[in-house]
Structure 1
Amino acid sequence: MLHEQYFMLHQKLAVNAPASMATEVTLEQIANTLYCSARNAKLVLRKLEEKEWIIWKAGRGRGIRSMLTFQADKEALLQEAAQQLTEKGEYKQAFELMRNYGEEIRTHESYVEWMNGHFGFCKEEKEGEEARDSLRLPVYRLIDTLDPAECYYSFPAHMIQQIFDRLVIYENATDQYLPAIAHHWENNNDATVWTFHLRKGILFHDGKELTADDVKFTMERLGRKRNRWILRELKNVEVVSPREVRFILNKPNRIFIRYLSATCMSIVPQHLLRFNEEQYWKLPVGTGPFQVEEWTEDRLSIRASPYYYQGRPHLDSVQIIFMPEDAEHSDVRWERLLQDSDPSDPTEEMSGMDTVESLNGCTTLITWNMRKPGPYQSIEFRRAFSLILNRSGMVRELGEYRLYPARGFLIDDGAPYHKDRFDPDLAKQLLQQSGYDGSPIRMGSLAHHMKDAEWVQNQCAAIGILLIICEEKMDTIHKPEVMSNMDCILQGLVLPGEEVCLIENYEQEDSVVKEFMDPSLHDWVKECIDDALASEECKERLNLLANIEERLREEAQVSFLIHSKFQAQLHSSYKGVVINNLGWLDFKQIWQV
């Protein structure tokens, strides 16, 4: 790329030279800087001259050095290059260019401003096709999988819900189960047999009709995957007829229908997955409102399925652009993109704006690795660590979407009034009792939790705890070899469904809470869960599950930090915008006046 070659030369050869002043240089230096031969270096210089970006005067004769003058404005040229890459969809390369050559100049600010205009709603036009209403959004979260059976994080789960369907859907706002693939269901008295009747005419995106065989195949496959915890007590799945399927359980489960509304229970096509699973996941096919059009390392493009059984989406397509993780500090965020106001006019910016929030949010917590030796094996140390954390101060100091100090996994109506357990004097006493010798504590965290991690690090330093932050990526932090090396992990949990999500937290493979928990608690936790599932009353189920949380809190195996909310501002011309319980826009309903 000619732009980058100019920046490479400028960075190496114009370090101390004033603007537009000639620099003595040899052709050999230029070739070495560009990592090419002298012949190719001459070709590059000729092209740069044609662009009038440089003036090149080759030295003639022995002892006469060549002279190179940089003419182009580096800042303007850098933004131009980044914009060209962005227009081609090469976002990672654009930010890499900024990172490598944009230091100490203000290009990032103007580029971010331009980027915010590039994202959001747009009309996509292709030759011979009608213009499409498209939504283009930047994300800093990896989509490591679109397989419901392997999904762990909330954002991939959200995208899975756009592509696949479940038998039923649980609606938090109304506490109701809504028909989806199944239009009717019933269960026996002790909740060990559940029967579901499927709609007619539900088509996968390739045109093949979904049947009970696909449901059976999905469950049998799920039983061999990461999310198999959800089928721990499933004895058998029976295909009664092409549109009737029966689940037989070993033990009562009063909320099995809630299990079936979980993202990991999304129905996949037997005819495509059975024989070529690797090829299928390159461009997965479901029955959801959107079908996958393109999935690369730079983007995920989905388009509306015209035959969706619950009504075609208003949007024609959605493009999810994967931004570099190290660009997350920028102001390019989807929450700020649905705004038609003039950013230079503060009055216009506030007028005609609506705020949308989710009923759910994220809970940030620190979980101790009870399987690994270290000073934190002392309960006095863990309690001292928790007591030094001024959570109310954390909310005030870090702000943004942080709401309240957290006492548990779920936010409740009493969250604004809970007393923060902050006692630095007692923390110092407990730390001394623990016999802590000042050895370092390794805490793992993801990039988007680094502000929280650094705040915790500073609090610990105040009483002499040496905390080392180990920044990991989403595709590495749950690897066994990484987790086993961590003393604790700071993470954010999105728990969109109370009972099922709490159980998932204790049972899912690779869950930090489960994997770090004292192994002696596992059988007791399982008994608490089984008792809860057998209970007919929601309140009783939650109380039984609360026993697990209470023990983890009192033994300080988990230090809860804060609750935060999902929120976005948008221009009032956008309709149907809802932030779902996973913290993302429900793409199916969005439209614009």
Structure 2
Amino acid sequence: MLYEQFFMLHRKLAVNAPVHAATEVTLEQIADTLYCTSRNAKLVLRKLEEKGWIVWKAGRGRGNRSKLTFQADQAELLQEAAQQLAEKGEYKQAFELLRTYGQGIRTSDSYVEWMNGHFGFCKETKEGEEGARDSLRLPVYRLIETLDPAECYYSFQAHMIQQIFDRLVVYDKAKDQYMPVIAHHWESSEDGTNWTFHLRKGILFHDGKELTAEDVKFTVERLGQDRRNAWIVRELHSVEAVSPREVRFILNKPNRIFIRFLSSICMSIVPKHLLIHDEEQFWRLPVGTGPFQVGEWTEVRLTIHANAHYYQGRPHLDSIQIIMMPEDAEHCNVSWERLLQDSEPIGHGGDHHAVDIIESSEGCTTLITWNMKKQGPFQSVDFRRAFNLILNRSEMIRELGDNRLYPARGFIMDEQAPYRKDRYDPEFAKSLLSQSGYDGSPVIMATLANHVKDAEWIQNQCASVGISLMIREIRMDTMLHPDVVNRMDCILHGLVLPGEEVCIIENYEQAGSIVKEFMDPSLQDWVNECIDDALASERCEERLSILSNIEERLREEVHVSFLIHTRFFASLHPSYKGVVINNLGWLDFKQIWRA
């Protein structure tokens, strides 16, 4: 790449040279810098001169050194090179270039502005088609490791899965009722152990085959085969395809809210006829019945196209491109929440500063989960309580701002959150710390890139009372690797838990849930017993009370330290319509359109 050859020479030969000043250099030095032969070095120099980026004057005769003058502005050229790579979809290479040669340019206002302009809504033309296709291009900073509902474990995976697959029913929290999707009718036995669902006719998978009760049976039985989300069927005795459009579930124990289990994204229905033959091949381009179907899925991009025959209505957008950004790009201020606003006015001389702000009714809760399976000073409940008491959450919100709203006391933000007082008592914390026998040994906290600011703030609070806190930034895909878990004393992370009983239960039972994986095994047994009691309860208030008891014990014994409730929000140009942030903190792709 000619750009990179220019940067290599500039870094080696022009570090301290004045702008446009000639540097004496030999052809051999050029060749060594570019890791090539002298002949190839001459070819590179000629190409750089043709671009007008350098001036090269070869020395004539013995003792006359050659002179190289850099004409192009290195920062402008670097930004241009990164933009060209990004336009071709080579985002990893673009940020690698910026990291290697940028010296801070990767966070410059002009580059961030360009990156934000690169994403968002666009019109695309395709050869052989009339008119332009409406497309939305969005950046994400975590690999989409799976689109398998049985293995899904974080919110963005779940969001993408519900674009591709459907469930029997969905729960509408605002209406507090279950809405038919694949199933149009259902009934249950009085004791909550027998559930029957009747399926719609004519629901087609993306390959054109009709969905039947056999697909539902296959999906649910597959979940119990040592999958990450097997927790959801641990008390399922059997599932029966009574007829092509009738399916029955028999449970070992009463579960009054089993229908809510069936509305979970991990219960999305997959096609038996495709998965049963070659599962590995299927997940390269998975097929569902949802509003979008997968067109391309690589390490750097997931493209989904509108399902023109979707039984609940075709999406307005033609395609969505999800771009997997390099990890270090997350430290730039490039995010989808700021993408749906335009730098230029749209029609009728509109004001380009006009922006609408939308918020979700749900949010994320940040918390510290202690690794109770590892030895360390935090095994003392007095130490954990001391740690909790030094965190002035209200001050944290004031200092860090952004979308941080209220101090958190539990997993879910309730109506009392704005009025609840945070308990902050550094003097009592010092007393507890002394009582715990803490010897000053370092505590290692793991966190993701988007929580580093919070971790650094906590680190300063710890230092004020003599706790040595070390921060280790990790990736989502390595968070629960055994070597990571064995080294980390606690993890600072976020949880997206829509206020539903099944989501709370998932947090305690799902394989890969940090709260579950870090929990002491004896406590886990008690939690499971409480959950069984809750599911057998007929009254919602009684179920919530039992689940609240679990949370209260975790809080009282400080197995977790709840920190901050945040709110999902996005800013957009008024020309965007149908924009809603769902309970997973993402845009509802199916409803978006542009005036």
TM exceeding 0.5: yes
Q: Which amino acid aligns with 1:439?
A: S
Moved more, 55-64 or 173-182: 55-64
Q: Match for residue 506 of structure 2? A: 504
Q: Name stretches of at least 5 consecutive residues in structure 1 with no aligned partner.
A: none
Deviations 1:212-237 (A, max 9, x none): 11111111211121110111101111
Q: What's the offset of the Cα at 1:107?
A: 7.8
Distance in 1 (CA, whole Å) between partners of 2:37 and 2:203 is 61
Q: Match for residue 380 of structure 1? A: 382
Q: How does 1:288-307 map to 2 (within 5 A)?
A: 288-307=290-309
| 3-state SS of paired residue (1:492) | strand
Distance in 1 (CA, whole Å) between partners of 2:344 and 2:424 is 44
Distance in 1 (CA, whole Å) between partners of 2:73 and 2:376 is 55
| 3-state SS of paired residue (1:165) | coil
Q: What's the offset of the Cα at 1:37?
A: 2.4
| TM-score of the two chains, using structure 2 as the length reference | 0.97
1:354 to 337, 353, 356: 356
Distance in 2 (CA, whole Å) between partners of 1:140 and 1:351 is 28
Q: Match for residue 479 of structure 1? A: 481
**Cα distance, 1:422–1:268 mapped onto 2, change above 3 Å:** same
Q: How does 1:197-276 map to 2 (within 5 A)?
A: 197-224=198-225, 225-276=227-278
Q: What's the offset of the Cα at 1:191?
A: 0.8
Q: Match for residue 525 of structure 1? A: 527
Deviations 1:374-428 (A, max 9, x none): 1111111010000000011111111111010000111100011111011001000
Q: CA contact under 8 A between 2:106 and 2:332: conserved in structure 1?
A: no
Q: Match for residue 420 of structure 2? A: 418
Deviations 1:304-343 (A, max 9, x none): 0101110000000111111222121222211111113559
Q: What's the offset of the Cα at 1:569?
A: 1.4
Q: Which amino acid aligns with 1:534?
A: A
Q: What's the offset of the Cα at 1:105?
A: 5.0
Q: What's the offset of the Cα at 1:104?
A: 4.8
Q: CA contact under 8 A between 2:56 and 2:67: conserved in structure 1?
A: yes
Distance in 2 (CA, whole Å) between partners of 1:62 and 1:223 is 80
Q: What's the offset of the Cα at 1:61?
A: 3.0
Q: Match for residue 461 of structure 2? A: 459
Deviations 1:16-63 (A, max 9, x none): 211222111122222222222222222211211221211122233333
Are 1:441 and 2:454 matched, yes or no?
no
**Cα distance, 1:10–1:486 mapped onto 2, change above 3 Å:** same
Q: Which amino acid aligns with 2:426?
A: P
Q: Which amino acid aligns with 2:516?
A: K
Q: What's the offset of the Cα at 1:516?
A: 1.4
Distance in 2 (CA, whole Å) between partners of 1:563 and 1:350 is 32
> Which structure 1 residue ranges, 4+ long, deviate > 6 Å from structure 2?
347-350
Q: Could you tell me the percent identity over the aligned residues?
A: 76
Q: CA contact under 8 A between 1:314 and 1:589: conserved in structure 2?
A: yes
Q: CA contact under 8 A between 1:203 and 1:210: conserved in structure 2?
A: yes
| 3-state SS of paired residue (2:491) | strand
Distance in 2 (CA, whole Å) between partners of 1:149 and 1:363 is 24
Q: Match for residue 368 of structure 2? A: 366
Q: CA contact under 8 A between 1:361 and 1:563: conserved in structure 2?
A: yes
| TM-score of the two chains, using structure 1 as the length reference | 0.97
Q: How does 1:155-166 map to 2 (within 5 A)?
A: 155-166=156-167
**Cα distance, 1:448–1:384 mapped onto 2, change above 3 Å:** same
Are 1:561 and 2:556 matched, yes or no?
no
Q: Match for residue 85 of structure 2? A: 85
Aligned length: 590
**Cα distance, 1:234–1:107 mapped onto 2, change above 3 Å:** closer
Q: CA contact under 8 A between 2:98 and 2:105: conserved in structure 1?
A: no
Q: What's the offset of the Cα at 1:352?
A: 3.9
Q: Match for residue 195 of structure 2? A: 194
Q: Name stretches of at least 5 consecutive residues in structure 2 with no aligned partner.
A: none
Distance in 1 (CA, whole Å) between partners of 2:358 and 2:539 is 32
Distance in 1 (CA, whole Å) between partners of 2:191 and 2:405 is 41
Deviations 1:483-517 (A, max 9, x none): 12211111100002421111111111121111211
**Cα distance, 1:180–1:105 mapped onto 2, change above 3 Å:** closer
Q: Match for residue 135 of structure 1? A: 136
Q: CA contact under 8 A between 1:223 and 1:231: conserved in structure 2?
A: yes
Q: Match for residue 339 of structure 2? A: 337
